[in-house]
């Protein structure tokens, strides 16, 4: 599953990069999403595979803290990129005449860069607070990764500040962008209802289908992880949504975008045919 995820997302990046017809804002954000997904799954799964092979479940304190930081940054980047992609579809469908003016290359790069900067500072705040916590020797985390809520739960010292920060940032960095996605699609739905031509409606909505599938998968599993961290005390049950969130979702994203998108399928076909003709 790890190899399929890495290769699938890498193929998306190569296909978009090699086809000038896909050098548009939507596919620029898709390339960034694929890159983040490769990094996201690489933060947790290789360590888990090493542990399985070595029959050891240990991780150093520094390694655990690093995993928390990278996991938080990349999960947040997934969240922001899906929000930006929803805004891109909103502009494309609701303001088509001004699309190239609004979604200019400078704005696209700025949106991605701003997302990285926000998540860096958010993660730094979490890391500084976690570094002040004390943990007993041989602390066991009932999980297959160092997940923030689980780390806070096993701390020996008072972690109230960490808990408050985690919940506040969840509202600001997860629920607010999700509301933005819902608003974008409510405006898109309203615009589609005003269209008189059925082919026009289908073409406009078809560009949103892949994104809607990924959003549903990402937020469905993400909310499951968040709720399970707070409400489910059975480690086995809480790990199920985490596996979906960290392994299955990044693996399915390339399939969703390639199978439901004619442009991506065409670019992949041309990329593979060029590779086959130049061994």
pLDDT in tens, 134-156: 888 878 887 788 888 888 888 88
Q: What integer best gives the mean pLDDT of the chain?
A: 84
What domain range includes position 80?
A: 41-245
* Total domain count, the chain: 1
Over the stretch 30-63, which tens digit does the pLDDT of each residue have?
999 999 999 999 998 998 888 888 888 888 888 8
Does 257 fall in a domain?
no
Does 31 fall in a domain?
no
How far apart are alpha carbons 138 and 42 in whole angstroms? 25
The model carries a pTM of 0.88
Does 221 fall in a domain?
yes
Query: How long is the chain?
Result: 279
Does 48 fall in a domain?
yes
Does 253 fall in a domain?
no
Over the stretch 103-121, which tens digit does the pLDDT of each residue have?
999 999 999 999 999 999 9
Pick from 141, 137, 127, 139: nearest CA to 238 = 141
The H-or-E segment that residue 250 falls in is: helix 249-259
Does 229 fall in a domain?
yes
**In this model, does residue 237 exceed pLDDT 70?**
no
Does 94 fall in a domain?
yes
**In this model, does residue 275 exceed pLDDT 80?**
no
Does 208 fall in a domain?
yes
How far apart are alpha carbons 80 and 240 in whole angstroms? 24
**Looking at residue 203, which CATH number applies to its domain?**
1.20.1070.10
């Amino acid at each position: 599953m790890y190899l399929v995820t890495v290769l699938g997302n890498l193929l998306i990046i190569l296909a978009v990069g090699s086809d000038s017809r896909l050098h548009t804002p939507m596919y620029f954000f898709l390339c960034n999403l694929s890159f983040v997904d490769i990094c996201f799954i690489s933060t947790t799964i290789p360590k888990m595979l090493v542990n399985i092979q070595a029959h050891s479940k240990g991780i150093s304190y520094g390694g655990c803290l690093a995993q928390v930081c990278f996991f938080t940054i990349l999960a947040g980047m997934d969240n922001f990129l899906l929000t930006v992609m929803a805004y891109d579809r909103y502009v494309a469908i609701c303001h088509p005449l001004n699309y190239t003016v609004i979604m200019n290359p400078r704005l696209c790069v700025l949106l991605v860069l701003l997302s990285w900067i926000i998540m860096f500072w958010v993660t730094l705040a979490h890391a500084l607070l976690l570094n002040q916590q004390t943990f007993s020797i041989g602390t066991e985390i009932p999980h297959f990764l160092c997940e923030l809520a689980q780390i806070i739960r096993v701390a020996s010292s008072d972690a109230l500040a960490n808990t408050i920060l985690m919940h506040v940032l969840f509202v600001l960095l997860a629920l607010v962008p999700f509301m933005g996605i819902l608003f974008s699609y409510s405006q898109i739905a309203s615009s589609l209802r005003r269209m008189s031509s059925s082919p026009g409606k289908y073409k406009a909505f078809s560009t949103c289908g892949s994104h809607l599938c990924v959003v549903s998968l990402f937020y469905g599993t993400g909310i499951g992880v968040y709720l399970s961290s707070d409400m489910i005390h059975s480690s086995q049950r809480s790990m199920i949504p985490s596996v979906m969130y960290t392994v299955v979702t990044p693996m399915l994203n390339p399939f969703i975008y390639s199978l439901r998108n004619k442009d991506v399928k065409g670019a992949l076909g041309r990329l593979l045919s060029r590779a086959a003709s130049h061994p």
